[in-house]
A and B are shown apart, each in its own frame.
Chain A
Amino acid sequence: MSGEPLLEINDLSVVYRTPTGDVRAVDHVNLTLHRGEVVGLAGESGSGKSTLVYGANRLLRPPALITGGSVRYSGRRLVAEHGPAELLQLRADELRRLRWREIAIVFQSAMNALNPVLSVGAQLTDAIYAHLQLGKHDAREKAATLLDLVGIPRSRLRSYPHELSGGMRQRVMIAMALVTDPEVVIMDEPTTALDVVVQRDILTQIVELKEQLGFAVLFITHDLSLLLELADRIAVMYAGQMLESGTAAQIKNEPAHPYTRGLLNSFPSLHGPRRELAGIPGSPPDLRGLPPGCPFMPRCTYAREACKEVDMSLKPVFADISHVTACPFVQPGVSA
């Protein structure tokens, strides 16, 4: 990928301030997203992937607190008008104009994100009225076009959420995210609640829409197998820290960090030899007062004394700077 990154998260730290101390949910994390790219963010529950993305968009509510870093957004429309925006310094009203118009979100649970007492059409046009100067007829037409795009007949504009199936509701959410023609679409586990058949359907559609409309996708999921197919680049998070990042092929073929390997070993491969599935024993650490060194060490099969003082900054695997890992000890292809 070339040129200026679209979204550049730099050294971002987010804590949850509790009476018993700060929970460091995101700890000095970098992430970049280029135009038209799909970046996957993987990690188990509580690894900070959602906190990272929502924090960068400043959607978290107190006790969440951003303690440092920068989030630079350089969308085309914005750069043409007044140059890139620093999301962490915008006021509430400036953020409001930016959200959805530039960075839209497909929320995890379509059942909760759709208002049960408003028709689908009304909810789609709400987003249009909020950001685009369109008349009633045009707004309705745009909403209908988007429903067509995600594969729902436009007659469904008048339906209420409870009249749609789970898959259709999720499609409506995707249509809603695309309705203002944003440059970045954040997808927060959009298919987690759906069965695999519908899941596949929707993912194919997302890829098609992306080709057609040219937005970039930041895809949050705990399902690494999904990302291997869908994403251009994958970042793996654990305990609020970025452990490894690389292209999908690099992550799949030469995973460097033991945690990535653990994730890859915890689902079966359809092709290739049968093998014993290995999960990762143990559970994620308490993020209050995490000791220095590698947070994955207690669960790591490659753990050694030096892990206690290891510097968690990302270093290139081989000489390739597109593939970086936080583990200096384990090389791809080497087993313990």
Chain B
Amino acid sequence: MPFKAKVGAVMLGVFLLAAIIGPLVEPYDPGYQNPNPALSLKGPSAAHLLGTTTLGQDCLSQLLTGIRLTLELGLIVGVVATVLAVIVGVTSAFLGGVWDELLQLLSNVFLVIPALPLLVILLGYLSGRGQTPTILVLSGLGWAWGARVIRAQTLAIRNRDFIAAARETGEKTWRILLFELVPNEVSLIAASFVNAVLYAIGASVALAFLGLTDLNSWSLGTMLYWAESQQALQLGAWWWFVPPGLAVALMGTALVLVNTGIDEIGNPRLRDASSASRIAGHRIMPTAPTPVLALVGTERGRLGEFLHSFSRSSVLEDK
């Protein structure tokens, strides 16, 4: 796994851990309003590690619950949207003909719908409590792009000889799809899952920030909404809006970093290529001429030569 992907995985792991055990260890109920006016809008202290809001609520507890709810929403939307994308994309490409046209029409319609205004309208109508309406709406709108990409890849793979061979040996269509075709798209599917999660987190935080979701469920977006509406920024209460904002940003970063490593997980050829490109401790570019053992590391470009002249080893070298 490349270094970037490892960093991403570790960051994501920390967030997952926080999401799982956070609600168990948080010191207060995130909605509990401390009546003591002395505890209103106080900075970090021993009793409140991340300070309090204007209503005396504990910021750390809100943050932990927020991470839980936001990550939960992101993962559920990611799974639902990806499953939809795979089903629509693969069947569309594999069935072809009228079905392809219909499913493509459907995903094209979903692609051109301006997502945010529609979300605003839909969530205005769906006044159900909790995160369920947001999850439904985001999954319903988030699958179309993945479906298009997966359809294109399926079209390319569909005509390869090993699919024809599988059909010739009498494998059932569902088996061909599930065991011959889909494994070839694992990295694509994983990448589209990660993107869907990213989109869901971003969109849900944005919607909550606009006050369009259930404001009694303590997601990171809701926390930002209250911070904004109660002038945390003007009051200088950084402990109220920096932690949730940072959490959203870091979650996004982690997902993007993980995405870079997914290619190699799905494609064994890439895995070999990246490890094989190191010879005698030096990285060889795939387009470079075959390395000659005696010369490995002695060849430098003009910039490399310039930079090398500053290094200690250049002094020790025989010229």
Contact = CB atoms under 8 A, between A and B. Distances in A.
B294 interface: yes
A61 B286 contact: yes
Given A17-B276, A62-B291, 12 more contacts: A17-B279, A55-B290, A58-B289, A59-B289, A59-B290, A62-B277, A63-B276, A64-B291, A65-B290, A66-B290, A68-B294, A88-B295
Contacts of A91: 299
Interface centre among A61, A62, A65, A90 (most CB of B within 10 A): A62
A15 to B, nearest CB: 9
Interface string B292-307: 1111100100000000
A90 B295 CA distance: 10
A58 B290 contact: yes
A192 interface: no
Contacts of A60: 290
B221 to A, nearest CB: 46
A23 to B, nearest CB: 12
Interface in B6-55: none
Contacts, number: 49
B302 to A, nearest CB: 11
Interface string A49-92: 00000110011111111111000000000000000000011111
Contacts of A58: 289-290, 292
A95 interface: yes
B289 A95 contact: yes
A54 to B, nearest CB: 8
B149 interface: no
Contacts of A88: 292, 295
Contact of B279 (A54, A65, A68): A65
Interface of A: 14, 17, 54-55, 58-68, 88-92, 95
Contacts of A92: 287-289
A2 B288 CA distance: 35
B292 A66 contact: yes
Interface in B253-282: 276-280
B284 interface: yes
Contact of B293 (A61, A67, A89, A90): A67
Nearest to B288: A92
B18 to A, nearest CB: 38
Contacts of B296: 65
Contacts of B277: 62
Interface of B: 276-280, 284, 286-296, 299
24 contacts: A17-B279, A58-B290, A61-B286, A61-B290, A62-B276, A62-B279, A62-B286, A62-B290, A62-B291, A63-B276, A63-B279, A64-B290, A64-B291, A65-B279, A65-B280, A65-B291, A65-B296, A66-B293, A68-B293, A88-B295, A89-B292, A89-B295, A92-B289, A95-B289
Contacts of A95: 289
A68 B296 CA distance: 12
A-B complex: 7 closest residue pairs judged by Cβ atoms = A58-B289, A63-B276, A58-B290, A60-B290, A66-B292, A62-B284, A67-B293
A282 to B, nearest CB: 29
Nearest to B278: A62
Nearest to B296: A65
A270 to B, nearest CB: 34
Contacts of A90: 289
Contacts of B299: 91
B288 to A, nearest CB: 6
Contacts of A64: 290-291
A66 B291 contact: yes
Contacts of B289: 58-59, 90, 92, 95
A68 B291 CA distance: 11
B144 to A, nearest CB: 27
A63 B272 CA distance: 9
Contacts of B294: 68
Nearest to A69: B292
Contacts of A63: 276, 279
Contacts of B287: 92
Nearest to B294: A68
B22 to A, nearest CB: 42
Contacts of B292: 58, 65-66, 88-89
A17 B291 CA distance: 12
Of B286, B287, B289, B294, the most chain A CB neighbours within 10 A belong to: B289
Nearest to B299: A91
A109 to B, nearest CB: 14
Contacts of B276: 17, 62-63
A89 B295 CA distance: 8
A55 B279 CA distance: 16
A91 B290 CA distance: 11
A288 to B, nearest CB: 16
A16 to B, nearest CB: 9
Name, among B276, B296, B299, the residue most crowded by chain A CB atoms within 10 Å (CB to CB).
B276
A65 B291 CA distance: 5
Contacts of B286: 61-62
A64 B290 CA distance: 7
Contacts of B293: 65-68
Nearest to A87: B289
A59 B276 CA distance: 16
A265 B294 CA distance: 42
A65 B280 CA distance: 10
A95 B293 CA distance: 17
Nearest to A17: B279
A119 B14 CA distance: 53
Contacts of B291: 62, 64-66
A12 to B, nearest CB: 10
A197 B268 CA distance: 40
Contacts of B284: 62
A40 B307 CA distance: 46
B291 to A, nearest CB: 6
